[in-house]
Amino acid sequence: MTRARREARVRAPWPLAVPAALATVFLLFPLLALIIRAPWESLPDLLTDPSTRHALWLSVRTATIATAICMVFGVPLAWALSRASFPGRDLIHALVTIPLVLPPVVGGVSLLLVLGRRGIVGRHLDNWFGLTIPFTTDAVILAQIFVAMPFLVLSVEGALSAADQRFEEAAATLGASRVTTFRRVTLPMILPAIGAGAVLCWARALGEFGATITFAGNFPKTTQTMPLAVYLAMEVDPEKAIALSLVLLSVSIVVLVALRGRWWNSRQAQGIV
């Protein structure tokens, strides 16, 4: 079976090879151009610039915090969508996936309408507690959560749907509570999916631009993340923009390599490769 599948991959219909090659070139050529045009000689100086270090540190810090919050709330949400039965479940599932297809700028506008000083919730936070969220570092984190959480939820939900529920039923038969069953049986089964979803979530949060600039603005040392720094540098220092883009590209490659290892091991365990 495995050998036959390998041969089937090699002997794919030749009319598919040309469009596949063109698609590959179209996707890879801009990235190769970025590498070719990179100012390698001045790259160390550009990357050690104080503004670059502040933007990088802010991006890493906020993306990490956003991912942690997504895990706290996203894993239970994924479990509810996969295992629980309640009214409006399909609607909630659709709403969870909307940030994947919604333009990030629209997400930023939506966050402003909710949490802005005149927003549905934000005006009460401002009047009662003197709390203003937009154009702060907290706004960056909230924008990242909004666009990144679906990646975690869908990854974990898919793992829960594919997991064998007989182990959970056996644990319940032996007298384990639902909490114990989730902690001792379900969680270990879906842990690789949680890890993969968290990595995707972190990478998406790191690269967030549209919702951030709309909801949090572009203030150095406060809300200027790496994507915003790239956008600003393109207007005044293109070489610096390329250098910053290389950093984000490197992070993306590391993320893909890490996930590739996880997917490869999973496919081997299933006897697919």
Tens digits of per-residue pLDDT, 4-30? 454 445 555 767 778 888 888 888 888
| All domains in the chain, ordered by first residue | 46-269 (1.10.3720.10)
Question: What pTM value is reported for the model?
Answer: 0.84
Please state the rounded mean pLDDT for residues 83-92: 83
Tens digits of per-residue pLDDT, 19-59? 888 888 888 888 888 888 888 887 788 778 888 889 989 99
Return the residue matching tokens 């990242």.
144
pLDDT of residue 260: 63
Return the residue matching tokens 């666009």.
147
Residue that wins the pLDDT comparison between 235 and 212: 212
Q: Where are the beta strands (DSSP E) in the chain?
A: none
Residue that wins the pLDDT comparison between 273 and 239: 239
Pair 57, 129: CB distance under 8 Å: no
Tens digits of per-residue pLDDT, 154-176? 989 888 888 777 887 787 787 77
Pair 262, 196: CB distance under 8 Å: yes
pLDDT of residue 268: 44
CA 67 to CA 250: how far, in whole Å?
Answer: 19
Please say if the pLDDT value at position 267 is more than 70.
Answer: no
Tens digits of per-residue pLDDT, 190-204? 888 888 889 889 989
Backbone conformation region of residue 220, classed left if phi is above 0, alpha if psi is from -120 to 50, else beta:
beta
pLDDT of residue 67: 95
pLDDT of residue 11: 57
Token pair for residue 51? 């503004």
